[in-house]
Structure 1
Amino acid sequence: MGSGGEGVPGEVDRYLSELVERVRTIYRDRLVSVGAVGSLALGDYRHGRSDIDITVVVDPAVPARSAHELADALAHPGLRCPAAGLELVVYDAGFAASGAPGAGYLLNLNTGPLLPAVVDFGSVGAPGFWYVIDRAIGHRSGRTLSGHPIREALSAPARPDLLAAVSASVREHASGAGHLADNRVLNGCRSVYYCTTGGWISKRAAGQSIAAAETRFRPLIEEALRSFERPRESALELPAGAVDEFMAWARRAVDRASGGPAS
């Protein structure tokens, strides 16, 4: 099995090995690929801060009960997650390879010590932007943990669909609901970076890039970067007015790229 990557603690590698073994046991010959996306894929996993983001691709003919079995097999603390949480999504291979926008999952599982538990087997009505962005990152940078290369199993949505997803993500983070201030700022940086360059990099790398280019926001972004080094429970407080001003700027920058409303 592929490792979580350089700088990933041994307990995370052991967790990934057990996770993959449980996925294999349930899906057997219907398993196409297991891959790490998110911070593990982008080489910026921060222990105590990052989630473990996993994408599983399976044969379209897999029985529906398998997703329920997998959710039970991976639930924390039955399988103790050593990270802030596990965010795992299962797709059928046809949808994963289609590049279609939308959520499209067979299972959306959030579990772990710092994540509200989510177990969802139907994507109808789910906000699609989270999944569109993760699949795009997985297509570009995903780390294969088992089976077929995850970068080949996933197709990136078309750029207009990605721009729409990034715009929705910025609006979600601008609202502030349920998001740490440092993550709001750095997500805004990564969104602007993508719209400017067409490339996906880690939130910290994007923050460094935007801080260098936008001097008026540099103090705020640098404070967000310092906060992002800390565990979630000890994140720094950032000035609310400055965060809101930055997020409004990020929305305008993304809207210019996407052709959406700059309100």
Structure 2
Amino acid sequence: MTRTLVDPYSVPDELRPYLQEVVHRTHALYGSHLVSVIAVGSVALGDYRHGRSDVDVTVVVDGALPGRARPGRVLPELAAALAHPALPCPATGLELVVYDRDFAARPSGEAGYLLDINTGPLLPERASLDPSQSPAFWYVIDRSVARQAGRVLYGRPAREVIAEPARADVLRALRASVREHSAGEGHLADNRVLNGCRSVQFCRTGRWQAKRRAAEAVAAAEERFRPLLHAALHSYERPSRTAATTLPANDVQGFLAWVAERVDESVDADRSG
């Protein structure tokens, strides 16, 4: 049983003891059947903002477990072991997804998880064992980020255990993400804008960038959106979600419509190519 991260200095200081405990509690339940624990999201992309960011974790397990140790029996125990405040989350929340190693090892446009946990001081509590309950695009994007930039906390490296989703599936996921953020429900305006910038930069480069870096790149290239993007960056850099500033709703919608067009152009270019 381990409490040691593969590389403790690859994660922010504020998260290090917490992530060590996440690994420890996950390993306590899965033992040798725990394949990998991988930081994704803002931690992986080097843009974690304490007080603002969630901590996103992908877990890969060996599903061929005997008896009581089958994932379906262990998963509720894992959700309980990691629930805030029993394990206090220092970030705004923990978003942790568990995959079977066979599913994770093949490209897929599906959600495909065994367990999806949301817990923490600013996240509604959620523990889902049914991937049909969730839009697939979140998980496709996270697996693509994990494959490209995931920071291994325990076990095998992300590139050895997580397959890169097909580009067509990633673009489809981006389009669904833009629709979700255009609707706006449950999302801060600055985050909606910055996620749009990250989508544009993926279409242009095929690589995932931190939200702030993506926004700076789009602002440099697209003068008409520069005031909105600078306002979104200023809001995102405030110390907490509750301190986020209001952005002009029409400007946000107009920008996201432009983002959707860029994603659709990438889809069309791939089809014609």
C-alpha separation between the residues in 1 aligned to 2:10 and 2:145?
A: 18
C-alpha separation between the residues in 2 aligned to 1:164 and 1:13?
A: 34
Q: CA deviation at 1:13?
A: 0.3
TM-score (norm: length of structure 1): 0.96
1:41 equivalent to 2:54? Answer no
Q: Which runs of 5+ in 2 are unaligned?
A: none
SS in 2 for 1:113: coil
1:104 equivalent to 2:108? Answer no
> Who is 2:135 aligned against?
127
Q: Deviations over 1:7-58 (max 9, x none)?
A: 713x410000011000000000111000000000001100001100000000
1:8 equivalent to 2:12? Answer yes
> Who is 1:50 aligned against?
53
C-alpha separation between the residues in 2 aligned to 1:256 and 1:71?
A: 40
Q: CA deviation at 1:120?
A: 0.1
1:251 equivalent to 2:251? Answer no
TM-score (norm: length of structure 2): 0.92
Instruction: Report the residue type matching 1:104 in the other structure.
Output: G
C-alpha separation between the residues in 2 aligned to 1:109 and 1:7?
A: 20
Q: Which runs of 5+ in 1 are unaligned?
A: none
Q: CA deviation at 1:126?
A: 2.0
Q: Deviations over 1:132-184 (max 9, x none)?
A: 00000000000000011122211111111111011111111111111000000
> Who is 1:180 aligned against?
188
Q: CA deviation at 1:2?
A: 3.2
Q: CA deviation at 1:6?
A: 5.7
C-alpha separation between the residues in 1 aligned to 2:227 and 2:176?
A: 26
Q: CA deviation at 1:129?
A: 0.3
RMSD of the TM alignment (CA)? 1.3
Aligned pairs (5 A) from 1:22-171 = 22-62=25-65, 63=70, 64-171=72-179
Q: CA deviation at 1:5?
A: 4.8
C-alpha separation between the residues in 1 aligned to 2:17 and 2:77?
A: 21
8 Å Cα contact 1:6-1:43 kept in structure 2 = no
SS in 1 for 2:134: coil
Question: For the structure 1 residues 5 and 49, does the alpha-carbon distance in structure 2 shift closer, same or farther, using more than 3 Å as the test?
Answer: farther
After superposing the two structures, state which structure 1 stretch, 163-172 or 78-87, moved more.
Answer: 163-172
4+ residue runs over 3 A deviation: 2-7
C-alpha separation between the residues in 2 aligned to 1:4 and 1:129?
A: 30
8 Å Cα contact 2:151-2:158 kept in structure 1 = yes
C-alpha separation between the residues in 1 aligned to 2:47 and 2:144?
A: 17
1:208 equivalent to 2:211? Answer no
After superposing the two structures, state which structure 1 stretch, 105-114 or 149-158, moved more.
Answer: 149-158
8 Å Cα contact 2:117-2:128 kept in structure 1 = yes
C-alpha separation between the residues in 1 aligned to 2:39 and 2:159?
A: 10
Instruction: Report the residue type matching 2:30 in the other structure.
Output: Y
Q: CA deviation at 1:255?
A: 1.0
C-alpha separation between the residues in 2 aligned to 1:192 and 1:5?
A: 30
8 Å Cα contact 1:167-1:258 kept in structure 2 = no
C-alpha separation between the residues in 2 aligned to 1:213 and 1:19?
A: 41
> Who is 1:229 aligned against?
237
8 Å Cα contact 1:5-1:40 kept in structure 2 = no
How many equivalent residue pairs? 259
